[in-house]
Each structure stands twice: as C-alpha cells, then as structure tokens.
C-alpha cells in the first residue's frame, strides 16, 4: 500500500496542510494512520476522499455539511457534479476522477473519465480544461523525480498515450502559414508537455515538425539549414544550471534569428536566466499558448 505524507495530500488536493489538520480534528473527515514516531500518513483511499471533499468544497458545499453526509449521499453529490453543464464544477469533478484512476491504477476509470468529458464538452475543451489542470496539479507536466509515487508514473504513461492517440485523429495540416518546430533538448525525456503543445497546435491547423525527446543540437542545426520555422518550442524539466539553459537558448536564437523561440517547463529552472536575444519568449502555461494562437 502506498503511504502519503500530508504534504502529498496538499500538493494533489490543493488544500493546505494546516487546513487538512483542522478538518481532521474538528470534523473527522479523514483519519490518518501514525508511524512509530507519531508522523501522519494516509492511504490512497483517504487521498481519494480528500480529493472529492475538495471538489465539493470548491463548488459551494460547506465543510460542516460535507462532514454530515452519509457515504451514499457523498458519492451521489460527486456523481451529480459530472452531469452538470460543462463548467468549473464538472471540470473539477473530472479532474478528481482522473486522480482517483491514477491512485488506483485504474486505467478503465481514466478511459471512462476521458470519454465522458469529451462527450460533454468536446475533446479540445477536455484537453485544455481537464487534462492540462490535472497534469499541472499532479506535476506530471514536468515531474522527473524518480522517487515520486509509482501511480504518477502509471498515469503519465496513460495520459501520454491518450494525447498521442488524439494527435493521430487530426488531419494533416493544410495551413501553409506558420510552421512550428518542436523538440526536447539533449537529456530531456519527459515529453508530456511537448506532446500536449503539439496537439493544441495541430488541432488549430498549424504545421508542426515534431522531433521528440533528447535531440542533439547539431541535429537541430541541420534541420534549420533545410527549413525556416516561424516558431521553435522546447521544454526544460531535468535539473541543470540556469547558465546552461541560457547558453543553449541564446545560441539557438543566434542560429535562427528568423524564428521566435518559446521555452517552457519547470519554472524553477528559469529564475536566473540571462537571455541576450529578443526573439526568445517564456511560454508560461497553456493559457499563454492559447493567447498566442
């Protein structure tokens, strides 16, 4: 059984650890187990319950009212949120269901949740309003910590496959306008964010040249001799010095002055960047990409 610390609950639910402790003491909503040294730890079932509590609380339910619900009424309210018109309530319920599927290694639940959300709000809206927030909340867009819970590795593989399948359903772009070159730099293997970007661009009819993971820069230089993309998109997630990222981006900007270079990924890596070119821009999340499009 996977054991979660209170800060894992905080990260996945969005509820502060201090608030979780208050809810435990005042309402008995979830009861942690204790180690021999009296540290709290929680099961997957308790984390799933907290995610559902968070969903109800974010949709107008008072904590005291949630605590008074029977198990049957609690489950019924969660199901009811799925059947509301597409909006914040439905999206938060779908996100919780994806998390439940992740924690329980339940691929069928993840598949069913995708399908239900797509029927309700369309696939593009599902990607932008359900899948992306789920990936961001769980850290699956940029998580590279090998010590992270194995459920997150499981979910990352399922989500990655879903995005690739979605890309395969799109027609080849007929738009002869803007071209985007997408790749991950050397020793970057976590491509969920890049795949999601590729889907969003292709769904809008743009031509993308997708090179994938850990592409040597000499290969990028060779490509740039043959084509002149309007935009270059790359992600940085693996730990490395800011000076190294700065050098890579500045060099690329000098080689491709005709293109705007967008970089994205783990924001903690970008705090001390020193960028000397004016054709480099930070892509801060999905809304920034949608605004650009």
Q: What is the mean pLDDT of the chain?
A: 85
CA distance 82 to 97: 10
141 and 182 in a single domain? The answer is no
Looking at the fold, whether 160 and 80 belong to one and the same domain comes out as: yes
The answer to the question of residue 30 being in a domain is no
What's the domain range around 108?
Answer: 44-166
CATH number at residue 190: 3.40.50.280
Within-domain flag for 16: no
Residue 77 lies in a domain: yes
Q: Establish if 273 belongs to a structural domain.
A: yes
Residues 154 and 200 in one domain: no
Assigned domain for 19 exists = no
Domain boundary among 127, 147, 166: 166
Q: Distance of CA 12 to CAs 114, 134, 162, 264, 271, Å?
A: 19, 9, 21, 22, 24
Q: Is the pLDDT of residue 234 over 90?
A: yes
Quick one: pLDDT band at residue 148, thresholds 50, 70, 90? low
282 within domain boundaries = yes
Evaluate whether residue 91 is within a structural domain.
yes
pTM, full prediction: 0.74
Among 146, 166, 186, which residue terminates a domain? Answer: 166
Query: How would you class 54 by CB atoms within 10 Å of its CB: exposed for 0-12, middle for 13-18, buried for 19 or more?
Result: buried
Q: Which of 76-90, 163-177, 250-264 has the highest mean pLDDT?
A: 250-264
Q: Let me know how many helices (H) and strands (E) the chain has, helices first.
A: 14, 7
Please state the domain count of the chain. 2
Residue 180, classed as helix, strand or coil, is strand
Residue found by looking up tokens 């769904």 in the block: 203
Q: Evaluate if residue 147 carries a pLDDT over 50.
A: no
User: CA-CA distance, 178 to 167, in Å (whole number)?
Assistant: 18
Per-residue pLDDT, averaged over 189-207, amounts to: 90
User: Do 124 and 199 fall into the same domain?
Assistant: no
CA pair distance 283, 118, nearest whole angstrom:
26
Judged on CB neighbours under 10 Å (0-12, 13-18, 19+), 274 is exposed
Tens digits of residue pLDDT in 212-230: 999 999 999 999 989 999 9
Q: For 154-195, how does the pLDDT look when each residue is reduced to its tens digit (9 = 90+)?
A: 888 888 888 899 899 888 877 567 899 999 999 998 888 899
pLDDT of residue 222: 92
Shared-domain flag, residues 64 and 136: yes
pLDDT the model gives residue 99 = 85
Answer yes or no: are the C-beta atoms of 259 and 229 closer than 8 Å: yes
What is the Cα–Cα distance from 48 to 52, expressed in whole angstroms?
6
How buried is residue 281: exposed, middle or buried, by Cβ count under 10 Å (0-12/13-18/19+)?
Answer: middle
Give residue-wise pLDDT tens across range 17-70.
Answer: 899 899 888 888 888 888 888 888 888 888 888 888 887 887 778 888 888 888
Q: Are residues 151 and 127 in the same domain?
A: yes
Residues 48 and 162 in one domain: yes
Which of 123, 149, 166 is a domain's end point? Answer: 166
Look-up of token digits 């993308």: 208
- Checking if the pLDDT of 237 tops 80, the result is yes
Kindly report the number of other CB atoms within 10 A of residue 135's CB atom: 24
């Amino acid at each position: 059984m996977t054991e979660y610390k209170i800060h894992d609950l905080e990260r996945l639910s969005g509820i502060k650890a201090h608030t979780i402790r208050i809810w435990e003491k005042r309402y008995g909503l979830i009861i942690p187990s204790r180690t021999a040294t009296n540290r709290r730890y929680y099961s997957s079932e308790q984390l799933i319950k907290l995610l559902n509590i968070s969903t109800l609380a974010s949709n107008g339910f008072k904590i005291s009212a949630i605590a008074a619900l029977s198990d049957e009424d609690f489950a019924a309210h969660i199901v009811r949120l799925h059947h509301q018109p597409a909006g914040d309530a439905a999206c938060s319920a779908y996100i919780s269901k994806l998390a439940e599927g992740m924690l329980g290694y339940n691929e069928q639940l993840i598949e069913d949740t995708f399908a239900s959300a797509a029927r309700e709000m369309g696939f593009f809206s599902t990607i932008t309003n359900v899948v992306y927030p789920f990936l961001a909340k769980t850290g699956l867009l940029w998580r590279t910590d090998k010590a992270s819970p194995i459920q997150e590795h499981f979910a990352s593989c399922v989500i990655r496959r879903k995005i690739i399948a979605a890309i395969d359903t799109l027609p080849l772009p007929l738009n002869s306008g803007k071209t985007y070159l997408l790749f991950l730099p050397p020793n970057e293997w976590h491509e969920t964010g890049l795949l999601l970007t590729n889907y969003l661009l292709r769904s809008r009819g743009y031509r993308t040249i997708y090179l994938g993971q850990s592409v040597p820069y000499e290969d990028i230089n060779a490509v740039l001799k043959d084509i002149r993309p309007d935009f270059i998109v790359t992600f940085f997630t693996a730990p490395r010095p800011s000076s190294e990222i700065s050098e890579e981006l500045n060099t690329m900007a000098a080689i491709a002055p005709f293109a705007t270079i967008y970089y994205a990924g783990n924001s903690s890596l970008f705090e001390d960047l020193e960028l000397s070119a004016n054709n480099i821009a930070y892509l801060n999340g999905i809304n920034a990409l949608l605004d650009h499009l």
